[in-house]
Amino acid sequence: MKIYLIIISILFFNKLEAQSFNNQAFVYPNPVSQHLYIALVDDSIQYEIISLQGEKILKGLWIQNETQFIDVHQLHSGLYFVKLNEEIFHLKKE
C-alpha cells in the first residue's frame, strides 16, 4: 500500500504540487485551502477523505473528463487521508 501526503491549508499557497496515483490519477493542489482536484488518465475512481481516527469524512465518485472538485474548506485543520480506490494519500489542513 502506498501512502502520500497532501496538505490542506486555510492559507493561500502559490505553489501547486500534484501527487500521482499509479500514473492514472493526480491529486492537486498540495497544499489546498478550499478545492481538491483529481485529474484522471482514464475511467473513474472512488475517493474517500478519512480522518486520522479512521472516520470517513467525505466520499464520492470522480468521473474522467468532468470538471469537479472536492470542497474541503469545511474541514478542520489537521491531517487526513485521501483514499483513491485502494491507494491512500495523506492530507493536512492548517
CATH classification at residue 37: 2.60.40
Distance CA 70, CA 94 (A): 17
Q: Say what the pLDDT of residue 23 is.
A: 57
Whether 58 contacts 43, CB under 8 Å: no
Q: Which of 49, 55, 54, 44 is nearest to 32 (CA)?
A: 49
Q: Say what the pLDDT of residue 2 is.
A: 54
Q: Which of 6, 71, 14, 64 is nearest to 39 (CA)?
A: 64
Q: Say what the pLDDT of residue 57 is.
A: 92
Q: Which residues pair with 87 in a beta bridge?
A: 84
∠ CA 16-20-21 to the nearest 5 degrees? 145
44 CB-contact burial (10 Å; exposed 0-12 / middle 13-18 / buried 19+) = middle
Provide the CA 68 distance to its chain's centre, in angstroms.
12
Q: The domain containing residue 11 runs over which residues?
A: 3-93
As for how many domains the chain has, the answer is: 1
Tens place of pLDDT per residue across the chain (94 aa): 555 555 554 333 334 455 665 556 777 877 778 888 888 777 788 889 888 888 999 999 888 777 678 898 888 877 888 888 877 777 766 6
